[in-house]
Amino acid sequence: MALSLAISPCPNDTFVFHALVHGLVPGAPPVDVTYADVDVTNTAAERGAFDLVKVSYAALPWLLDDYHLLPCGGALGRGCGPLVLTRGDRDPGQPDGSARPDGTDAPDLSGATVAVPGDRTTAYLLFRLWAAERPPARIEVVPFHEIMPGVAAGRYDAGLVIHEARFTYPRHGLTALVDLGEWWEADTGLPIPLGAILARRGAVDPEAAAGWIRESVRRAWADPAASREYVLAHAQEMEPDVVDRHIGLYVNEFTADLGDAGFAAVQALLGRAADAGLVPQTSSSLATAWTS
C-alpha cells in the first residue's frame, strides 16, 4: 500500500524527497504525496492525516503522542533563521513612522501589527521568545506569499518570513529588523530547528522510514541534476539561482542526521517555550527518542 506523505513545495523538501517520491529508493513503498505549506500540515497532522509529514518543530508538543520524530529529512541548521522585516522608511515601533518616545534605536514592535505565517510555526515561536518583553500590539496570520507585499504596501508594520524570503526581501524595499536565527544561535550556541519529519505511530516503522529518507538524501546529493526539473516545477516562481541558494542553505548535515546538536536544539526550543508557557510541556523522551 502507498504511504501518504505531506511536504512543502519548497526546494529543500522536493530536493530531499525526489528519490522517495519517484520510487527510486530500493525497498521503499510507493508514496502518495501532498504539497502544502507547513501551517497546513501542522493542522493536518493533528488529525493524523498523513503517514509521513513535514511539520514545524514548534508543533511537536501537540503531535508526539501520535507521531515519531525522525532524525533526518527536516530543516535545521545555522545561518538559516527567520527574519523580521519592516519597510525601509518606517520605524517598526511606531506605526505612523514617527520617532520612538525614548529616542532609542533598539528593536521594538510594541506598537506594531506583525504578519506571521502561522501560529504554530517555529518562526512564530522564536519570534514570541525574542519579543517576550515587548510583544507587538497585534498579530495577523497571513499566507506566506502575502507577507512581504503586505509589509511593502503598509498593511502591516512588520512581517515574519522564512526560507527564500531571506534572499529576495530587498527587492520588495524591505529591511531586516532582526535575524531570529542569529539571535537564537548567539543566545544558545545551537542550530535553529525549523521543520521536522514525523512518522505516524502504528502506520510506519520509524527506523525503516529514516532509512528510506536518508537514502533519498544520499541520492539527491549524489546526482543533483536528477531532481532539477521536479524541484523547479514546484518552486513557486523562484529563479533558479534562488532555488540553488535555498537548497544549499537548508539541506545540510542535519538533513541526513540530527545528531546530538540537533536533538539538543529541539530540546532547548521546546523547553524554553514550555517554561514561558507558550507550548505544553513535552517529555524529553518523546522529543528525542524517535523510536520510543
- Name the residues annotated as catalytic: 163
| CB-CB contact of 195 with 57 (8 Å) | yes
Quickly tell me which residue has 512543502 as its cell.
Answer: 8
- 247: which 3 cell numbers? 537548497
**Residue 213 parent element (H or E):** helix 206-222
Q: Which residues pair with 113 in a beta bridge?
A: 138
- 208: which 3 cell numbers? 525503516
| CB-CB contact of 86 with 113 (8 Å) | no
247 φ/ψ angles, rounded to the nearest 5 degrees: -65, -45
- 240: which 3 cell numbers? 533558479
105 φ/ψ angles, rounded to the nearest 5 degrees: -115, 15
Length of the chain in residues, anyone? 292
Compute the distance between CA of residue 182 and CA of residue 170 in angstroms, rounded to an integer.
Answer: 19
For the purposes of burial, counting CB atoms within 10 Å of the CB of 203, is it exposed (0-12), middle (13-18) or buried (19 or more)?
middle
| CB-CB contact of 147 with 115 (8 Å) | yes
